[in-house]
Amino acid sequence: MPIYHIYALTSNLLTFAHLGIENVLITNPRDLSAFVRELARHSFSFLSGVNTLFDGLLATPAFDSLDFRSLQICLGGGTAVKADTALRWQRTPGVAIAQGYGLTEASPMVTGNPMDSTELTGSIGLPLPSTEVAIIDDADRELGFDETGEICVRGPQVMPGISWPSCQRRVSAR
């Protein structure tokens, strides 16, 4: 993820730096061959990205010969991870991609799947601690499963001044 993206800034840069975890900056992630060569130089335990990146790495020669023994967590964000990409990813590195949902105003995560997931769930996961999530209709009534409405979030990570409901877009509650 580019570090100007809120997810990469908060998780990869700020959190990992605070914990003393080494970050490797890939200056041009579109050059996937160079990306793979850089990965080969490190024993990496965490990799975050978007579906396009995971798919591109899988198609890059030499990716499948990397040493994945240290890889523990793969986290997908920015957009949904496609099932086909997730299945191929799980076969090559041997680690499932966990997904989450977030937005810039929530700095950034709202929900997430467990990091020890053994397969792609197709879900955005559960709300983070102290975070409330609801799907509501135009009359601000909470909806049930398989109903379409707006996703609304409230929690300590939501930017001040964003009132409940902080509705983002029409989605189907699943």
If one counts every other C-beta atom within 10 angstroms of the C-beta of residue 90, the result is: 17
The two tokens of residue 157 are 């990570």
Looking at the structure, tell me whether residues 33 and 87 fall in a common domain: yes
Residue 1, domain member (yes or no)? no
- What pLDDT score was predicted for residue 68? 96
Looking at the structure, tell me whether residues 60 and 38 fall in a common domain: yes
Domain that holds residue 163: 129-174
Looking at the structure, tell me whether residues 105 and 171 fall in a common domain: no
Residue 23, domain member (yes or no)? yes
Per-residue pLDDT of the chain (174 residues; tens, 9 = 90+): 777 777 778 777 787 888 888 888 888 989 999 999 999 999 999 998 889 999 999 999 999 999 999 999 998 888 889 999 999 999 999 999 999 898 888 888 899 998 888 888 888 889 999 998 988 888 888 998 889 888 888 888 888 776 565 455 444 444
Looking at the structure, tell me whether residues 143 and 117 fall in a common domain: no
What is the number of structural domains in the chain?
2
* Long-range contacts, 164-167 (Cβ 8 Å, 24+): 165/134, 165/136, 165/140, 166/105, 167/136
- What pLDDT score was predicted for residue 166? 46
Calculate the alpha carbon distances from 103 to 63, 109, 125, 153 in Å: 31, 7, 15, 10
Q: Which of 50, 161, 158 is nearest to 107 (CA)?
A: 158
Residues 6 or more apart from 83 whose CB is under 8 A from it? 120, 122
- What pLDDT score was predicted for residue 172? 46
